[in-house]
Amino acid sequence: MPSTERSGRPRDPEVDRRVEAAALAVFARQGWAGFSIEAVAREAGVGKASVYLRWRSKEELLTDAVAHAFAPIAEIDTGRVRDDLLALAELLLDLYEGRHGLAARRMTVESEVTPGIAERWRDVRAAQVAAARRIVRRAVERGELPADAPVTLVIDTLCGAAMLRPVAVPERLRGRAAAARSRYAHDLVDFVLAAARAASSSATRQESPA
């Protein structure tokens, strides 16, 4: 998802995809210290000029590559809160546990301490959080969740669990990835929704006159 279009001949979307995938692979293996345009070009099987045609710097390339992986969050809107949260949970679990999981997890840490990345990633992360929070707000508007549903807790619990799971699951169990992730996503969403409704009900009981 390059930030700026360049002039000249039309770009090949397949090259964009290969370069972004290569950027994630290099970053996953070597972190920011080993990340370079040259390394990404070698991984993608393209010339450096093809990369620079699309991205002006390695900071821009990495941020765009990771942001592209998270971009589908903004498209989630099935019309039902459970299905929306399930789509969000499955997307995040696939990202953090799947093929590019190490790159996604590295970004949460290295973006905080890397000049040139921190500023760019702050905007991407804010957009992701806003899109996720809209899922809960739409549910409130449709009457699927109470008006005082704890939006922040719902999103923090779901997203935090998705990020933590790859670290918490023992290595011997990681081979059961797809089926285990799907079951976990369903259980997580049901837990979060039940907790949100229970929290609202508890608050209402406490406020009711004796």
Q: Are residues 96 and 53 in the same domain?
A: no
Give CA angle at 138 (134, 141), nearest 5°. Answer: 140
Condensed to tens digits (0 to 9), the pLDDT of residues 87-142 reads 999 999 989 988 888 999 999 889 988 888 998 899 999 999 999 999 999 999 99
| Global confidence as pTM | 0.83
CATH code (residue 26): 1.10.10.60
Residue 27 lies in a domain: yes
Nearest one of 58, 59, 50, 57 to 11, comparing CA atoms = 50
Residue 30 lies in a domain: yes
pLDDT at position 175: 56
Helix (H) or strand (E) holding 51: helix 48-54
Count of domains forming the chain:
2
pLDDT at position 181: 82
pLDDT at position 169: 76
CATH code (residue 192): 1.10.357.10
pLDDT at position 203: 47
In angstroms, the CA 144 to CA 135 distance is 11
Structural domain including 188 reads: 69-203
Nearest one of 37, 78, 74, 77 to 59, comparing CA atoms = 37
Q: Are residues 127 and 31 in the same domain?
A: no
* Tokens encoding 179: 């089926």
In angstroms, the CA 122 to CA 4 distance is 18
pLDDT, tens digit only, all 210 positions of the chain: 444 444 444 567 889 999 999 999 999 999 999 999 999 999 999 999 999 999 999 999 999 999 999 999 999 999 999 999 999 999 999 899 888 889 999 998 899 888 889 988 999 999 999 999 999 999 999 999 999 999 999 999 999 999 998 888 776 665 566 677 889 999 999 999 999 998 765 544 444 444
Residue 144 lies in a domain: yes
Q: Are residues 121 and 174 in the same domain?
A: yes
